[in-house]
Structure 1
Amino acid sequence: MATQKLYAGAKLRETRTRLGLTQKAFAERLGVSLPYLNQMENNHRPVSSAVILALVQEFGFDVSELAVGDGERMVSDLREALADPVFKDGVPPVVDLRLIASNAPALARAFLTLHRSYLQASERLASLDEALGQSDVRPGASPWDEVRDFFHYCDNYIDAVDRAAERFAADRTADQSSKAALEALGVELLLTDDQKLIRHFDPAKRVLRLSSRTAASTQRFQTLLQIALLTQNDLIGATLDLARFQSDAARDIAKIGLANYFAGAAMMPYGRFLDAARETRHDLERLARHFGASLEQVCHRLSTLQRPGAKGV
């Protein structure tokens, strides 16, 4: 009877990471070459008995953690989950499932947890349908799904809002534009030490409160978002009318989304941002410094460069 080979790349990587060792240092402690360790960690070579012995002697490793049974149980669980009719393509070959179980056990466990949650949710929904006598009812798209689909089908670019933001910020930095706009609107800006506060506007007192603990880019963005809500109601409303959302909740969510869009576009006006992106070869840090934005804001703005005739990335 052939001896079963032991592949434990994920466990080796996990152990090395926990010990804070580089591959080179780990290989030296195990008495193997760096390429050999790399092959074991990627399951291109089985773990030899000499390596197992070194793990025990050098690190006090519990060899039971390398038990093959756990991997086989995971493969069995994956086969059972993937046999669910919701997966129309059928169960992948066992060899593929074994690779997943050995190379990405955390991902496999997450998938199994997700599938169990799906089954539990389906059971609860079926029970609710039965109680209501509505076994044929299927839930429609959630408000979040509606809004997500709206931006997706627009290629994440809203032309009218983008051009309005560009006009707003013409020939001025976003910071100057926001301060001037607040003054023109008779709005007082107050910075507070409340770390739980991001943005709060009191329409009666015309006071906008922002947290002084947030980054300057966040304060600027939140200011422009509030300006959008105060000055772009007609434009945003017309855009929402064209979208024809099925629920008021979706419309409300999309309104905030469009105000956020305006804020980002005003901080990084399309034409200037596109030119800078090309000039810097999309260097995120340079773009962030140039426009006084965060890396996250820059990344999101890059994803909106979809203007017909002047697309970016």
Structure 2
Amino acid sequence: MTASRKIFAGARIRLLRQGLNLTQAEFAQQIGISTSYLNQIENNQRALSGSVILALVDTFNFDLSELALDGAGKVSVDLQEVLTDPIFSDNKVLTQEIKVAATNAPNVTKAFLDLYRMFQKSREQLGEVDNALKDREASLAPLPYEEVRDYFHYNDNYIDSLDRAAESFATSLPHSDAGRHTDIADYLRQKHDVRVVLRKDKPSSGTVRTYDPATKTIYLNAASTMATNLFQLAYQVGLLEQGNLIEQLLDDAGFHTDVAREVCRMTFANYFAGAVVLPYSEFAQAAKDQRHDVEKLAFQFDASVEQVCHRLSMLQRPGEKGIPFYFLRIDQAGNITKRHSATTLQFTRFGGGCPLWNVHHAFQSPGEILRQLAVTPDGVQYLSLAFVQTKRVAGFKSPVRKYAIGLGCEIKHAGHVVYADDMGTTDASNFDPIGTSCRICERTDCFHRSVPPIGKDIKVDHNTRGSVPFKIA
């Protein structure tokens, strides 16, 4: 008989208590346990009992799904990847030790990860010593986009106060037969005396929105799609009305540079716009009803398919969580230009991704949604979708941008996703083995391996040549 898994959630319980501004004594009294017992729980010296879990749910409406995957899980995955670096080859850190560190000391672990990223940056800059010496502090600081990306990653890609503000605006907006694009344009004119002008004189410029504060005029590119222009109008509302909330969020984030702060200001406004176009509760219910058919959802909400996929990866509101999806966007060179993951699947930070993943094949099949059943080295099975998104502006000689969009979830949610129908999700032989990247993938029999995994010995057999010129010990 298999023993039940003990649940240690000290960091999560401590954050819940601190968020309620309660002392340990006050919190313990409300859930009917002693202060010393609560102290042991918060320090992961005692597991959560069934009665404590029920008390948390009854008293604080605690979301049980938070016990399945919290920030510690993501931190432990990042820590495990970092520890594959050869500089740690003499330190045999056990997987269980990594999990304990991420759970019991998440802030210390994140500090270690930040330190390693600084080390990585300085190591890369050693090849350009002259540039590094000009501005040593700048060379060691995290890149602005990386810092903002990590901020959202460790907040589960969900900003509650901003999301609820966007939902409140979306639900209060009058809904006319003219469509939401016209409704928001009318709102901007009536509330802020801002005009909206569709501009046709520069269709191939690539500029999708320009706001002139002097004349209070928003110029939108007439060549853009309706979904793009709707999003840009919602973005402008965010900048005009959510300034105080965004400033507070930026202060709390504590970014290292002003550039990172401004990048995140833009990202917060983008977040607000996406949550206006796809209001949380309405969209989450529609996603369930449509079994996450991204094309039907895009049609229903006047959004793009990319916007829908992005939003699906952000449905992490406590008490109303959707299916945990990962979302990414890559260019034709394999560079990841957007990434979000509410799953345990993590994207590589260094080096290329796994060529067996269907997102890299999408460029070969424009106009199709590719489906793949995949399994990662840790044994987790996924349903993976991929398709190509083309962005262009008017004009024969105008540049065309092509991206591949990836969206997926763990196979245990497949029954709620229309794309899993008829794929034989119960047959293990239908799953393709994929990894994060060759440098940390331990599969020894991969036909597409490009480099040996870090930390593994290799052997060269001069008498036998396989798909790769070495064997992994």
Match of 1:209, SS state, is: strand
Corresponding position of 1:162: 163
Match of 2:233, SS state, is: helix
Contact 1:225-1:263 within 8 A present in 2 as well = yes
Contact 1:181-1:227 within 8 A present in 2 as well = no
Structure 2 counterpart of 1:281, from 271, 281, 291: 291
Amino acid at match of 1:222: Q
Amino acid at match of 2:279: P
- How far does the alpha carbon of each residue in 1:18-42 deviate from its partner, in whole angstroms, 9 at most, with x for none? xxxxxxxxxxxxxxxxxxxxxxxxx
Structure 2 counterpart of 1:124, from 123, 127, 133: 127
Answer yes or no: is 1:244 the counterpart of 2:251.
no
Bigger Rg over Cα: 1
In the alignment, the residues of structure 1 paired with residue 237 and residue 320 of structure 2 have an alpha-carbon distance, to the nearest angstrom, of 27
Corresponding position of 1:142: 143
Answer yes or no: is 1:216 the counterpart of 2:226.
yes
Residues 189, 253 of structure 1: CA spacing in aligned structure 2 closer, same or farther, 3 A cutoff? same
- How far does the alpha carbon of each residue in 1:57-116 deviate from its partner, in whole angstroms, 9 at most, with x for none? xxxxxxxxxxxxxxxxxxxxxxxxxxxx955688xxxxxxxxxxxxxxxxxxxxxxxxxx
In the alignment, the residues of structure 2 paired with residue 307 and residue 133 of structure 1 have an alpha-carbon distance, to the nearest angstrom, of 41
Structure 2 counterpart of 1:297, from 307, 316, 326: 307
In the alignment, the residues of structure 2 paired with residue 123 and residue 210 of structure 1 have an alpha-carbon distance, to the nearest angstrom, of 45
Corresponding position of 1:175: 181
Corresponding position of 2:211: 201
Corresponding position of 1:58: none
| 1:1-313 alignment runs, 5 A limit | 87=86, 122-129=125-132, 139-170=140-171, 172=174, 174-175=180-181, 177-184=183-190, 185-193=192-200, 194=202, 195-196=204-205, 197-313=207-323
Residues 122, 281 of structure 1: CA spacing in aligned structure 2 closer, same or farther, 3 A cutoff? same
More strand by percentage = 2
Superposed displacement of residue 231, structure 1: 1.1
In the alignment, the residues of structure 2 paired with residue 122 and residue 245 of structure 1 have an alpha-carbon distance, to the nearest angstrom, of 22
Aligned length: 200
Residues 137, 224 of structure 1: CA spacing in aligned structure 2 closer, same or farther, 3 A cutoff? closer
| Identity, % of aligned positions | 40
Q: Which has the higher contact order (CA 8 A, sep 6+)?
A: 1
- For structure 2, the residue ranges without an aligned partner over 5 or more in a row are 1-83, 90-120, 324-473
In the alignment, the residues of structure 1 paired with residue 238 and residue 279 of structure 2 have an alpha-carbon distance, to the nearest angstrom, of 14
Residues 291, 161 of structure 1: CA spacing in aligned structure 2 closer, same or farther, 3 A cutoff? same
- For structure 1, the residue ranges without an aligned partner over 5 or more in a row are 1-84, 91-117
Cα RMSD for the two superposed structures: 2.7
Contact 2:167-2:279 within 8 A present in 1 as well = yes
